[in-house]
């Protein structure tokens, strides 16, 4: 790892946790939790790990870079993790989620900065290992059961990427499983299980709790990316990037993306609700337009959270935070109906009603809007509730790196 920059905020240092020859500082800002009412009445950590581990893969990538020595080419190697989000066992096909920083490097000589070789190994079939030469340079010795992957698409801004496996006999004959998604957001004190490929040694699990339900972290060395995450005290190491953070029923809470270099057992994972919206968007763009980019609906309403307050719900035994989602500026499609000062309460899209308690929930909802969609948005204005129907115009979408 290269030296990490100290952070200006909270004095913390953390790194995206792919196993690479690079590292990044991360600064954190506290964000309050989302409302959740999910209660886990029974659990079995052993059973959860034994199931969840079958949906996690080790990821190994390599790409050509310029060495800077007489312009000579060199090969860069890195290791991370991935989670199987869709699986057709009979066809030997799968989609796999990982972190963008696992497969991307701005120094790769490919036109899109994506590694030229990406392979995965399933749990129980891990044979790839790192060998080091006399100069300390590492490379991979690949196992006999590596599975070649195609890069489908991804986003630097959200640090997520989607890989595709097609017609794999290894996958057909494996015990691999499609991950089960947790329908509720993570809550404070919840048991967590981090499963990934730490240090490139193969898939393993660690346990902890959710210590912060939602915070923003900044990769200060990694392209100035700022991402909303769950903080956990489950040990996270280089190589865990792209792996899963699970609850005690083996359901996916998030995609692990960063570990802290100066604090004990302090790591982060991108919440599964955000992951799902980003991945669905990537797959839609790929299948509809053949694009490898994310496309986001620019609604035209800038929002901010205000009047934040903690609430303890005695029925579910959880503390959560609610805030008003206040419109601070309008343009584009939003200008047709919304006004500055409106408080957004809920939306209805494709028959699904979504109530909001935090500003980021509304912002992340926009990832799920497609060109031509109509959705109802309900706001509080002058003491009354008003509902407007919005049509997402084609011209209001833009690609996001």
Q: Which tokens in the block code for residue 278? A: 């980003």
Nearest to 33, CA basis, from 309, 236, 280, 301: 309
Q: Is 326 helix (H, G, I), strand (E, B) or coil?
A: strand
Q: Which pLDDT belongs to residue 10?
A: 30
User: Are the beta carbons of 255 and 270 closer than 8 angstroms?
Assistant: yes
Q: Tens-digit pLDDT profile for the chain (401 aa)?
A: 222 222 222 333 345 777 654 334 455 666 666 555 555 555 689 999 999 999 999 999 999 987 656 666 789 999 999 999 999 999 999 999 999 999 999 889 999 999 999 999 999 999 999 888 888 788 899 999 999 999 999 999 999 999 999 999 999 999 999 999 999 999 999 999 999 999 999 999 999 999 999 999 887 666 678 899 999 999 999 899 999 999 999 999 999 998 877 767 889 999 999 999 999 999 999 999 999 999 999 999 999 999 999 889 888 888 888 999 999 999 999 999 999 999 999 999 988 999 999 999 999 999 999 999 999 999 999 879 999 999 999 999 999 98
Q: Return the closest-CA partner of residue 32 out of 358, 345, 312.
A: 358
Residue 375 has, within 13 A of its CA and on its CB side, a CA count of 24
72 phi/psi in degrees, rounded to 5: -70, 145
Q: Are 16 and 229 in contact (CB under 8 A)?
A: no
Q: How big is the chain, counted in residues?
A: 401
Q: Is the dihedral of CA 340, 385, 187, 204 positive or negative?
A: negative
Strands 267-271 and 294-297: unpaired
pLDDT at position 71 is 63
Beta bridge partners of 303: 327
User: Could you tell me which residues come within 8 angstroms of residue 122 by beta carbon, excluding any fewer than 6 positions away?
Assistant: 54, 57, 145, 147, 170, 171, 174, 175, 176
Half-sphere exposure of 152 (CA within 13 A, CB side): 25
| Residue partners of 19: CB distance under 8 A and separation at least 6 | 78, 79, 80, 197, 198, 199, 200, 238, 239, 241
- 3-state secondary structure (DSSP) of residue 57: strand
By C-alpha distance, which of 80, 68, 53 is closest to 140?
Answer: 80
Q: How would you class 386 by CB atoms within 10 Å of its CB: exposed for 0-12, middle for 13-18, buried for 19 or more? A: middle
CB 316 within 8 A of CB 358: no
Give the up-direction half-sphere exposure of residue 55: CA atoms within 13 A in the CB hemisphere: 25
pLDDT on residue 328: 97
Plot region of 213 (φ>0 → left; ψ -120 to 50 → alpha; else → beta): alpha
Contact 346/378 with Cβ under 8 angstroms? yes
The DSSP code for 335 is G
Element (DSSP H or E) covering residue 169: helix 169-172
The single-letter DSSP state of residue 82 is: E
Q: Is the pTM of this model over 0.85?
A: yes
pLDDT of residue 23: 35
């Amino acid at each position: 790892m290269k030296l990490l920059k100290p952070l200006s905020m909270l004095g913390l240092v953390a790194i995206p946790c792919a196993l690479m020859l690079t590292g990044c500082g991360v600064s954190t800002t506290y964000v309050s939790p989302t409302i959740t009412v999910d209660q886990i009445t029974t659990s079995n950590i052993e059973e959860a790990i034994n199931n969840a581990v079958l949906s996690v893969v080790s990821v190994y990538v390599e790409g050509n870079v310029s060495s800077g020595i007489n312009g000579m080419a060199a090969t860069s190697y890195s290791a991370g993790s991935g989670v199987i989000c869709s699986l057709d066992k009979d066809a030997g096909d799968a989609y796999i989620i990982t972190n963008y920083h696992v497969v991307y490097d701005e120094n790769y000589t490919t036109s899109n900065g994506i590694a030229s070789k990406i392979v995965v190994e399933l749990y129980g079939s891990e044979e790839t290992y790192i060998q080091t030469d006399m100069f300390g340079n590492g490379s991979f010795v690949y196992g006999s059961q590596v599975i070649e992957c195609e890069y489908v698409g991804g986003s630097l801004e959200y640090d997520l990427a989607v890989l595709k496996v097609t017609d794999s006999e290894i996958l057909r004959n494996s015990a691999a499983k499609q991950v089960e998604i947790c329908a509720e957001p993570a809550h404070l004190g919840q048991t967590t299980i981090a499963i990934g490929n730490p240090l490139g040694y193969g898939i393993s699990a660690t346990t902890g709790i959710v210590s912060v339900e939602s915070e923003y972290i900044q990769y200060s060395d990694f392209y100035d990316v700022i991402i909303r995450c769950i903080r956990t005290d489950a040990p996270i190491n280089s190589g865990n990037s792209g792996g899963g953070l699970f609850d005690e029923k083996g359901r996916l809470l998030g995609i692990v993306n960063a570990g802290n270099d100066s604090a004990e057992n302090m790591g982060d994972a991108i919440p599964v609700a955000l992951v799902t919206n980003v991945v669905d968007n990537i797959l839609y763009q790929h299948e509809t337009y053949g694009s490898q980019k994310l496309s986001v609906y620019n609604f035209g309403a800038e929002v901010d959270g205000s009047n934040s307050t903690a609430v303890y719900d005695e029925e579910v035994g959880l503390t959560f935070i609610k805030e008003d989602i206040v419109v601070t500026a309008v343009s584009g499609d939003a200008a047709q109906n919304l006004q500055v000062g409106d408080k957004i309460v809920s939306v209805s899209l494709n028959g699904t009603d979504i109530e909001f308690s935090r500003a980021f929930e509304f912002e992340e909802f926009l990832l799920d809007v497609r060109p031509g969609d109509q959705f109802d948005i309900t706001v509080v204005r002058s003491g009354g509730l008003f509902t407007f129907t919005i049509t997402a115009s084609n011209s209001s979408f833009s690609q996001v790196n």
